[in-house]
Amino acid sequence: MPTPVAEAPNVTDDGLYLDGIPHDRFAEMRRTPGLMWHPYRDGGFWAVARHAEVKEVSRTPEVFSSAVGHTNLWDLEADALEARRGLIDTDAPDHTRIRRLVASGFTPKNIKAWTDTVGELTDELLDDAEAAGTVDWVDALAAPLPIRVILALLGVPVEDADHLVELSNFLVEGTSEQQSLPPDAFGNTTELRLLPFNSPASHALFEYGEALAARKRAEPADDIVTTLVRAEADGERLTGSEFRNLFHLLVFAGNETTRTALTHGAMALADHPEQWQRVLDGDVTLEQATEEVLRWATPVLHMRRTTTTATELAGTRIGAGEKVVVWYASANRDETAFDDPFTFDVGRTDNPHFAFGGGGPHFCLGAFLARLEIQVVLGAMRDRGLRLRRTGEPVRVPSNFVHGVLSVDMELAR
């Protein structure tokens, strides 16, 4: 680490996030010229807090690699990294090959075709929530909607959905310190450190994915798992481990993130009724409101890259093999990128937020799907003339990585 560099205020202590994102600390990083060095465990990382540099790192994958080390703050041992390697922690050309195999299912046109399905699921959940009057918003809507939608896209039969919802909930739990499953749950015999989230539920999900693939080879259908197994036939093979990890990623990646966006969105709209009124009155489009919900929520707080060579960023020298962490949570409140970044304003017309990443090859695969889900929920609430009122405080996930909310009580009334 070259000198002199300023040491960053601590933003990795999970406990900080029980009170929300430590925005004042990120503001200090944005104000400080150059990059700050953040100590972490027995090493540290360069903290990238400004919008412009988050963008630069994200779009320069040759220098800022996703395949070296890990995309989380800590390093994985080499065998664990190999066992888990999928899309997120791969560089070109492997990344391009895998990403294209799956991308065709997620283009704007193909996602649009799911609008009615998302609408029906949303209506069912909102009917029940309205009948109850006061609900835990996470339980009632934000958690069940995204998992049901992704299972439908993947082609998981309805009768298996509950099993997968359960597995997915165990995975969410696996992102925190407490795990309620014994290591041999679901017949797991793999060492936990080789499994995503160190969770035996990952083993069960792998097994399920393989059984489903076998089924789709025999009976192809119009869904994403069929696309993946069909690609096999065309010679563009995914390895067994790539398929397992991709299936796992698809079930998980869109789940907790979209849940978080729907929850922070509902909280913000309840706390700023004048903003919701603009949506009700049709003064702003659902698309505009959705982008602001995404910026405000920033469900994924950061991602990590590792330098492949010595380089320079914001005038700071960075050595080869050093960790660089891009903080979307900070970029999305950058004063130089947004007018009044701390104002929740559903009418923004220029909203270059980085909720889905700063661009570059790893830009969120599910961005259009997540947007569709949020737009459909806001649209359904608008058409019903629903208003939200908070009746309790949110219980937050203590995590420096996901901006999660475990529960928040809401009253729904017309």
Q: Which is nearer to other proteins, 252 or 368 (CB)?
A: 368
Among 10, 107, 190, 343, binds other proteins (CB under 8 A): 107
Residues whose CB falls within 8 Å of the CB of residue 109, separated by 6 or more in sequence, listed in order: none
Q: Is 64 in the site for other proteins (CB under 8 A)?
A: no
Token reading at 303: 């991602």
Q: Which is nearer to ligand HEM, 188 or 263 (CB)?
A: 263
Among 106, 114, 137, 186, binds other proteins (CB under 8 A): 106
CB of 43 to ligand HEM, least distance (A): 21
Q: Is 361 in the site for other proteins (CB under 8 A)?
A: yes
**Burial degree of 217 (CB within 10 A; 0-12, 13-18, 19+):** middle
Q: What residues line the site for ligand HEM (CB under 6 A)?
A: 58, 87-88, 99, 150, 249-250, 253-254, 257-258, 261, 299-300, 303, 328, 355-358, 360, 362-366, 369-370
CB of 261 to other proteins, least distance (A): 18
Among 38, 84, 99, 148, binds other proteins (CB under 8 A): 99
Q: Which is nearer to ligand HEM, 44 or 265 (CB)?
A: 265
> What share of residues in the chain are helix, strand, coil (percent, to 5)?
50, 10, 35
Classify residue 375 as left (phi > 0), alpha (psi -120 to 50) or beta.
Answer: alpha
CB of 347 to other proteins, least distance (A): 19
Q: Is 414 in the site for other proteins (CB under 8 A)?
A: no
Q: Which of ligand HEM, other proteins, none lies near 289, with the C-beta cut-off 5 to 8 A by kind?
A: none
Cα gap 81→76, rounded to integer Å: 6
Q: Is 365 in the site for other proteins (CB under 8 A)?
A: yes
Among 5, 25, 32, 59, binds other proteins (CB under 8 A): 59
Among 5, 192, 314, 367, binds other proteins (CB under 8 A): 367
Q: Count the Cβ atoms, other than its own, within 10 Å of residue 389.
A: 13
- CA torsion sign for 53, 58, 64, 68 is positive
Would you say how long the chain is, in residues?
Answer: 414
- 396 neighbors 18 (Cβ within 8 angstroms): yes
Q: Which is nearer to other proteins, 31 or 112 (CB)?
A: 112
Q: Which stretch binds other proteins (CB under 8 A): 71-79, 97-105, 259-267, 329-337?
A: 97-105
Residues binding other proteins: number (CB under 8 A): 21
What backbone phi and psi angles, to 5 degrees, belong to 47? -95, 120
For other proteins, what does the binding mask look like between residues 218 and 257, x meaning CB under 8 A?
Answer: ----------------------------------------
CB of 253 to ligand HEM, least distance (A): 4
Question: How many helices (H) and strands (E) in the chain?
Answer: 16, 12
Q: How far is CA 124 from CA 50, 144, 236, in A?
A: 41, 11, 40
Q: Which of other proteins, ligand HEM, none lies near 109, with the C-beta cut-off 5 to 8 A by kind?
A: other proteins
Q: 299: cis peptide before it, omega within 30°?
A: no
Q: Which positions from 383 through 402 interact with other proteins, judged by CB under 8 A? A: none
Cα gap 263→75, rounded to integer Å: 31
Q: Is 309 in the site for other proteins (CB under 8 A)?
A: no
Compute CA 71 distance to the chain's CA centroid, rounded to the nearest angstrom: 13
Q: Which is nearer to ligand HEM, 174 or 188 (CB)?
A: 174
- 232 neighbors 190 (Cβ within 8 angstroms): no
Buried b (16+ CB within 10 A) or exposed e, 144-156: bbbbbbbbbbbbb
Q: Is 52 in the site for other proteins (CB under 8 A)?
A: no
Interface with other proteins (CB under 8 A): 58-59, 92, 96, 99-101, 103-104, 106-109, 357, 359-361, 363, 365, 367-368
